[in-house]
């Protein structure tokens, strides 16, 4: 698998304090429902934990969370909030096998180049126990490219998203939600996709 995009990682390293502060307004919009459908005391892998706000809510709900981020600077910020270890791990470094009840990847896998996404998702599937749940959200669109900060995004359409998951392995796709949302650029709204899947029993 090719190395992660250096320009995207450099952004998160350089702007870690500003980026983490921008997400301080609350948990991700899809987290409350995700917590509803999880079994009590689940073991959750978080890919791209950012400042740790979602991990904090999952821990408060009684779950065991393994928070990770590809940026050492971001991981340090999350560790300061959570007071638990936060691993520095890129998506391509995931090697777990049936260790987790759930994998939460909110606004993180959207940085994986399209050709590499099926392989990353196969790693996510392998990390899940049979019956395990996986959530991810992606910026919508029909072309890959960079934003105004130089970050790479895969910008998937709904059909492309479903096709990539189907190419990555056997998934039960429970829902795909299309919505309008924002991001790091305050006041800038655009299309998003959220997918909830399960590794079959």
Does residue 140 form part of some domain?
A: yes
Compute the average pLDDT of residues 159-180.
97
**Which one, of 160, 157, 95, 103, lies nearest residue 129 by Cα?**
103
Residue 39 reports pLDDT greater than 80? yes
Does residue 92 form part of some domain?
A: yes
Between 20-24, 139-143, 152-156, the lowest mean confidence (pLDDT) is in 20-24
pTM over 0.85: yes
Does residue 24 form part of some domain?
A: yes
What range defines the domain where residue 175 resides? 6-198
Between 34-48, 84-98, 108-122, 177-191, the lowest mean confidence (pLDDT) is in 177-191
Does residue 1 form part of some domain?
A: no
Q: Estimate to the nearest angstrom the gap between the alpha carbon of 163 and the chain centroid.
A: 18
Does residue 68 form part of some domain?
A: yes
CA dihedral 71, 72, 76, 79 (to 10 degrees): 70
Rounded-to-integer distance, Cα 106 and Cα 183, Å: 12
CATH of the domain at 25: 3.40.50.150
Compute the average pLDDT of residues 97-118.
96
Burial of 81 (0-12, 13-18, 19+ CB in 10 A): middle
Count how many domains the chain has.
1
Does residue 47 form part of some domain?
A: yes
34 in Cβ contact with 196 (< 8 Å): yes
Q: Estimate to the nearest angstrom the gap between the alpha carbon of 169 and the chain centroid.
A: 18
Does residue 139 form part of some domain?
A: yes
């Amino acid at each position: 698998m090719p190395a992660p995009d250096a320009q995207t990682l450099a952004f998160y390293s350089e702007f870690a304090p500003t980026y983490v502060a921008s997400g301080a307004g609350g948990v991700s919009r899809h987290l409350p429902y995700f917590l509803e459908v999880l079994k009590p005391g689940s073991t959750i892998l978080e890919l791209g934990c950012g400042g740790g706000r979602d991990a904090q809510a999952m821990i408060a709900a009684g779950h065991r969370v393994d928070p990770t981020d590809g940026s050492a600077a971001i991981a340090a910020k999350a560790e300061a909030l959570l007071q638990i270890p936060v691993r520095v791990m890129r998506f391509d470094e995931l090697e777990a096998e049936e260790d987790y009840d759930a994998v939460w990847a909110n606004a993180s896998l959207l940085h994986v180049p399209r050709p590499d996404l099926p392989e990353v998702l196969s790693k996510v599937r392998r990390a899940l126990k049979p019956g395990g749940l996986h959530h991810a959200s992606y910026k919508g669109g029909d072309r890959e490219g960079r934003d105004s900060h130089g970050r790479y995004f895969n910008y998937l359409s709904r059909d492309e998203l479903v096709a990539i998951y189907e190419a990555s392995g056997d998934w039960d796709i429970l829902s795909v939600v299309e919505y309008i949302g924002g991001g790091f650029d305050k006041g800038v709204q655009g299309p998003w996709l959220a997918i909830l899947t399960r590794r079959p029993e």
